[in-house]
Structure 1
Amino acid sequence: MKAILPALALALASTAPSLAQTYAVTNGRVVTNSAQGIIADGTVLIRDGSIVAVGADVTIPDGTEVIDADGGWITPGLFAPFTQIGLIEVALEGSTTDAGANDSPYSVALDVTDGFNPAGTHIASTRMRGVTRAAIYPSTGHNIFAGQGGLVNTSGESDSVFENGSFVYADLSQSGASTAGGSRPAAWAYLEAAFNDARGYPGRFSADHEGDALNRFDAQAFLPVVRGRVPLVLNIDRAADLRRAIRFQAENTPVQIMIEGGAEAWLVADELAAAGIPILLDPLRNLPASFDEIAATLDGAQRLHAAGVTVAYTTLTSDGYYNARLITQHAGNAVANGVAWDQAFRSITLTPAQIYGVGDRYGALANGYAGDVVVWDGDPLEVMSSPTAVLIDGEMTEMDSRQTRLLNRYINITDETPFAYRR
């Protein structure tokens, strides 16, 4: 009996829930992205992974771990709305790339989250720059459809994917026209045919018959888009193509269209605002790389905001699989070209969360929101500012990456070889 009691006690202890860590982030300028605005000297209290109090006079319970911002800034975690982090390790080495599948017989049915690697080396460096959430995108293959994207956090944990099948991505730009057969009419005809295939699923696919554009597996995956439950993200830059997309949405209610790219979107800003179509825009695009981007301009973001278009900022002009961490620099350049600071900051935090339908949980510092909190040593949109602490879901994360480990390994090495042998 004496031997059984200690064993029982040990078993009960192992099954008892552990006490959740409570954090208080104090002594900083708190950017809430809520009705509270910016609190000059505030505190954010986090318990059980969620924010439970935000304000200037928050009571801190006993046993709380305090993170002193030391007069810096306290903000929500950044949300990168267009990335391929965790999908590509080295872009020119195919064995490390899971963003696209040129030789697959499937397109819409490809779910890019199946290839997401939370241990990818670029994730830690992205997190260390304050990015706690991201939308991951597939690359197009043999037709205009790239597949389905998802939403991830940058914790590096095995459960980093918190939503899959979040949207379907398709290319209706100049490159999509080429893939579809050589012209924009071919690309739009392919999209129309895909919609008809999905509407006809499963009856159209009886026996051995396939659709006009999609096989049965892709048609089944496309059905939520046709029914308006999942957004269709279109890669489009040219103003004329954007007008065609607006018309397409109106003709195919209840489909939800989102635009990625939008270099010339400011030319049709009023129409986009009226249609309620959001834009994933890189505010640094001003030099046309193709005839689709002739009207690209640095004040495009400001003009879209002024018209009432919902805009989230991307790092399209940088490599999205490792430079999503530059998102604050891109937002800062938007401010330099006429966008209000708070609007630019929302475009890399709350606005992308709202676009993807998770704005009630991410992108703000308010009661009930996830404990994604970043402490900065200065204005986050200033290029020389850096995070000093990053919390994801109320847990402190490591401020460490492959780059920092290499730095620490080699920074103090002294070359003892004769001068003639040194490189």
Structure 2
Amino acid sequence: MKMLTKLAAAAAFASGLAGAAMAQDIAVRGGQVYTMAGEAIVDGVVVIVDGKITAVGPAASTPIPDGLQLLEAEVVTPGLVDARTVVGLAGYLNQPHDQDQLDESKPIQPQLRAIDGYNPDERLVEWLRGFGITTIHTGHGPGALVSGQTMVAKTVGGTADEAAIVPGAMLAANLGPWALADGGKSPGTRSKQIAMLRSALLSAQSAGEEGDQSDKKPPSLDKQVLRSVLSGEMPLMVTAQRSQDIMSALRLRKEFGIDLVIDGGAESYLLTDELREAGVRVILHPTMARQYGDLQNASFTTASKLREAGIPFALQSGFESYVPKTRVVLWEAAIAAANGLAWEDALASVTIDAAKLIGVGDRVGSLEVGKDGDIALFDGDPFEYTSHVTGVVIDGVVVSDQAM
């Protein structure tokens, strides 16, 4: 099917990207509508009013109010969710002035906030948006033992505050070679990494057990953040690829009772029993990530193995130090679907499952009444190489009408 109308007037389009557009009232009709909240709807309709979904169902029984802009596509899905990226902090130019995803001045810096470095105008954000990605979990990347806090954001907004859904989502820590220091600096070994993390957590824990703080100085910023991890308010996301590093993270979870998320997990298929018993979620490395170094034992089939084991997981674009600078989770899910993961499970890994894992499943990730009006439109099977994204809607505003 062809688009029935031009997706947006130029003025509305421009102001929508600036974060100032008023939500449009839109109806989207698809030959196949994958709501991710039940069976796919053949010849389905999604109605969006004031930025929120107000109706979803078969076209034959879902009336479209008068005056709504009507869009059509062969396939309609929720806006895609990238469960882990550094886009917005890491820029496409790959030059020092647009690389804010890592501060190497100290190995442990939990006080660093992604929202303070996020650039909503970065061209990589626009690039992802054009492929139907409407929500990202972004922030400080690997390279330091504790590199900083992440945020969840929409891929539109004139400022970081307008884009943010969750300003402080998780605390990013890293184990293995990425976070080792050289030249005799700490941490120089895996054992020292864990010792330093334990020391930092114990120090924050002690600060919280000192009783009445009314006549004392408030705890330092780093301790405040670590105490939010200890209380379960903020998950600790640990980038760990090797099984030995994943096990070290699991020991930390057990010792401190923290909410642990494994990022990367190249060898997570070796520890499915341990991960399931611990109730740990996994943000799996990009399926097509280069398989060398800590990822030398990565597998195209890990996503299907985690699904079979009942371990909650999502796919991510991750961090690329050079080309391609960012991956596209749509393509990563397609490769997972070609290597043992069921088609709808692959779509779930970049929609509802990803949204739930990063804590925003009540707003995005599925097409349900009351949720944000975030939609991706395709001219064919989203996982088919020759298909294109023909439109993207975020909060009821058409933000892309260029076939990608």
TM-score band w.r.t. shorter chain: 0.7 to 0.9
Higher relative contact order structure (alpha carbons within 8 Å, sequence separation ≥ 6): 2
Q: Deviations over 1:197-243 (max 9, x none)?
A: 11122677x9xx99xxxx93211121100111110000101112222
8 A contact 1:281–1:301 mirrored in 2: yes
Q: Tell me the equivalent position of 1:63.
A: 67
Matches within 5 A, 1:222-371: 222-253=226-257, 255-282=258-285, 284-285=287-288, 288-290=291-293, 292-316=294-318, 324=326, 326-371=328-373
Counterpart of 1:43 in 2: which secondary structure?
Answer: strand
8 A contact 2:286–2:329 mirrored in 1: no
Code of the residue aligned with 2:237 in structure 1: it is V
Q: Tell me the equivalent position of 2:109.
A: 107
2: distance between equivalents of 1:260 and 1:186? 20
More deviation, 119-128/365-374:
119-128
The alignment status of 1:147 with 2:153, answered yes or no, reads: no
Counterpart of 1:182 in 2: which secondary structure?
Answer: coil
8 A contact 2:132–2:392 mirrored in 1: yes
1: distance between equivalents of 2:70 and 2:53? 14
Code of the residue aligned with 2:198 in structure 1: it is E
Determine which of 103, 126, 134 is the counterpart of 1:124. Answer: 126
Q: Deviations over 1:92-133 (max 9, x none)?
A: 411122212223697100001111111111221211110000
Q: Gaps spanning 5+ residues in structure 1: where?
A: 1-17, 405-423
The alignment status of 1:174 with 2:180, answered yes or no, reads: no
The alignment status of 1:164 with 2:175, answered yes or no, reads: no
Code of the residue aligned with 1:58 in structure 2: it is T
1: distance between equivalents of 2:372 and 2:131? 18
8 A contact 1:83–1:321 mirrored in 2: no
Shift of 1:325: 5.5
Q: Tell me the equivalent position of 1:221.
A: 225
More deviation, 189-198/240-249:
240-249
Q: Tell me the equivalent position of 1:12.
A: none
CA 1:20–1:162 in structure 2 vs 1: closer, same or farther (change >3 Å)?
closer
Percent identity of paired positions between Structure 1 and Structure 2: 32
Query: TM-score of the superposition, structure 1-length normalised?
Result: 0.82
CA 1:323–1:382 in structure 2 vs 1: closer, same or farther (change >3 Å)?
farther
Shift of 1:261: 0.9
8 A contact 1:285–1:317 mirrored in 2: no
Q: Tell me the equivalent position of 1:393.
A: 395
8 A contact 1:201–1:220 mirrored in 2: no
CA 1:286–1:22 in structure 2 vs 1: closer, same or farther (change >3 Å)?
closer
8 A contact 1:147–1:169 mirrored in 2: yes
Shift of 1:377: 0.6
1: distance between equivalents of 2:392 and 2:55? 18
8 A contact 1:201–1:216 mirrored in 2: no
Q: Which has the larger radius of gyration?
A: 1
8 A contact 1:283–1:300 mirrored in 2: no
8 A contact 1:123–1:156 mirrored in 2: no
2: distance between equivalents of 1:314 and 1:280? 7
CA 1:216–1:52 in structure 2 vs 1: closer, same or farther (change >3 Å)?
same
The alignment status of 1:380 with 2:373, answered yes or no, reads: no
8 A contact 2:276–2:309 mirrored in 1: yes
2: distance between equivalents of 1:283 and 1:115? 24
Shift of 1:90: 4.2
8 A contact 1:106–1:217 mirrored in 2: no
Q: Gaps spanning 5+ residues in structure 2: where?
A: 1-20
CA 1:104–1:275 in structure 2 vs 1: closer, same or farther (change >3 Å)?
closer
Query: TM-score of the superposition, structure 2-length normalised?
Result: 0.85
2: distance between equivalents of 1:46 and 1:39? 17
